[in-house]
Chains A and B, each alone.
Chain A
Amino acid sequence: MTEHVATNETILVVGGGISGMTAALEAAETGKNVVLVEKNPALGGRTSQLYRYFPKLCHPTCGLEINQRRLKNNPRIRVLTLAEVTGIEGGTGNYTVSVRVKPRYVNENCTACGECAKAVSTEVADPFNYNLGTHKAAYLPSSMAYPQRYVLDPAIIGTPEADAAKAACKYGAIELDMQEETLQVKAGAVIWATGWQPYDAAKIQPYGYGRFKNVITSVEFERLADPHGPTGGKLLRPSDGKEAKNVAFIQCAGSRDENHLRHCSRICCMASLKQTHYVREKYPEDGKSTIYYIDIRAIDRFEDFYQKVQADPSVSFIKSKVARISEDEQGNPVCWGVNTEGYKRYTTPHDLVVLAVGMEPSVKGVNIPGHIVADSSGFIEADPANGAVFGAGCASNALDVNRAVQSATAAALRAIQVVNKVAKAEA
């Protein structure tokens, strides 16, 4: 990583998920200087938290690895992790952005040997696994983490644990006196790629998320299926660790609902169809999936994926949005509703209920410094009033990885045009 002075010809990319990485790379590979800001300790965002992608069911490791390699080889990109934008001033072609960088307490000498983690015993919540488990307070964010460097959790700073970690490090990588700092970055254009967050399922009161342990969200299910996840890749339900063989998927959990998210989140149908593969993969003999849906929206060219799942005898489809969930004495979640095909009532127990939660733009409710035009769901619009602040990926719409990459490339092109104009004016 080469340090360089940011100028008006620099493009600032906010968010280091698949969209932000793509936008940064596309811009840098045309010769522009880019500063990439990520609030987590590692790049990859929610894509890195998936077990598999649809439709090919390959592992995200693959696509991310290619991008990480491109990043590593490109001297025009400066990556700031644990960094958040706190203010944007100026206008098109001339922005000054304040970036607050939190201390990692680990410098570039780190070789990710893991000796510090062995020296530490304190456990803290693990947001990479959606807090389904804990990890050591000296940790590598994930096996695919870029940069491949450990992090010390602020919880142990100032305790003997931190000193033990420092003592264990053979490379002088631990700096316990690192301080938070605020940088001023100049940029001609800003690409806002802060992605999405799963809709807070606890707000869907009748589904009992938070009250019933065996009602979980689709993003949590991804972590359960992942061999690097909290259960080592076994589909075990949270209440008693029993194998979850009879799994219900509830579509539109929060999406297409005026009381929650107005928009269709697009990815959830494909995500649940994909997750039925996990159930069959883990329990080929007696795994059973039930999808409760209003209508299946297998976006784009994925109708064939849907048809294959339909042909699978272990998967049943019930055309009904579940009205409420209760819990029986064995801790099984019970789905209540009326099947639209025939209007028959059902009360069906399952081992585990997975809520296919919707995508809420991360920008919603967050005060993006400066004036931003967003739609009624909070996604950034392509509006001239936004100047040279361009939404990319899921900050601009509910998108799958494929479309997020397309959107990020488009945003990079817009940003490149702005800095080209600046360059001409300065020449």
Chain B
Amino acid sequence: MSANTAMAEKYRNNFLKEIEEQVEMGDWVKMCMQCGVCSGSCPTNFQSAWEHPPQELFMMIRAGKREEVLTTTSMWNCTSCYNCIVRCPRKLPITHIMHGIAEYAHRLGVAPKMQPTRFFSGLFWKNATKTGRVNELKLSMGLYFKNGFGAGVKEGMKMKDVALGLIKAKRLNPFEILGGHTCKDQKGIQAMLKKAYEIERSRKAAKTAG
């Protein structure tokens, strides 16, 4: 049994408990009184329309809808505007919970692979941690070519005026494509991140055991 399936066994039919233990700030979920102010205050809810607004996600967690919650794209739509946190009558840290659920779904490997926010987050992380510096050219190109070569070229052409403007203003260096600039102590950065991973892993293991 892998670590993940063992964990799934532990929490069988007790998704709320799983969220409370595994998700950052997850122990707040039970405090929701379903008033709906978060959903009504969410700027993305009235435009691109979440499949499940935060209030509904909380209810689904309590109802044990594990599959639906972890695989939905909803919490990935959060733009961190913090409107919900400001207005929540029970002071739930809703924005943080949304990020927590998203991170947990990602950790389990069940998050929707091509959801743009999730895709971009992964791309950004790899890009930034590799050299200790963000290579903006590679980052934006990576996002353009997310849906294949043809779509990437099309998207690139659409944005070419912006790119030229940025180059003229010296905000974008086309030679970054050849590797780009790095930080002085790349090894130090890698060691630091490795240590951080270790700390996080041991903390989560302690929580699960406890």
Chain A contacts to B: CB under 8 angstroms:
206, 252, 256-260, 294, 319-324, 336-340, 343, 345, 347
Contacts and interface: CB of A to CB of B under 8 A. Distances in A.
A345 B46 contact: yes
B2 to A, nearest CB: 35
A324 B89 contact: no
Given A259-B89, A345-B45, A294 B34 contact: yes
A216 to B, nearest CB: 21
B135 interface: no
A321 B37 contact: yes
Q: Closest 3 interchain pairs by CB?
A: A323-B40, A337-B40, A257-B89
Given A252-B89, A323-B39, A323-B40, 20 more contacts: A206-B87, A256-B89, A258-B88, A259-B89, A294-B33, A320-B40, A321-B35, A321-B40, A323-B36, A323-B37, A323-B41, A324-B41, A337-B36, A338-B40, A338-B45, A340-B35, A340-B55, A343-B56, A345-B39, A345-B46
B65 interface: no
Contacts of A337: 36-37, 39-40
A164 to B, nearest CB: 53
Nearest to A338: B39
B187 to A, nearest CB: 47
Contact of B35 (A252, A324, A343, A347): A252
Given A206-B41, A338-B40, A345-B46, A294 B35 contact: yes
Contacts of B55: 338, 340, 343
Is chain B's binding surface mostly helix, strand, loop or mixed?
loop
A345 B44 CA distance: 12
B26 interface: no
Interface in B20-53: 33-41, 45-46, 49, 52-53
Contacts of A336: 40, 46
Nearest to A206: B87
B41 A321 contact: no
Nearest to A254: B89
Interface residues of B, number: 22
B203 interface: no
Nearest to B51: A343
Nearest to A251: B35
A293 to B, nearest CB: 9
Contacts of A338: 36, 39-40, 45, 53, 55
A231 B34 CA distance: 38
A345 B38 CA distance: 12
Interface in B88-106: 88-91
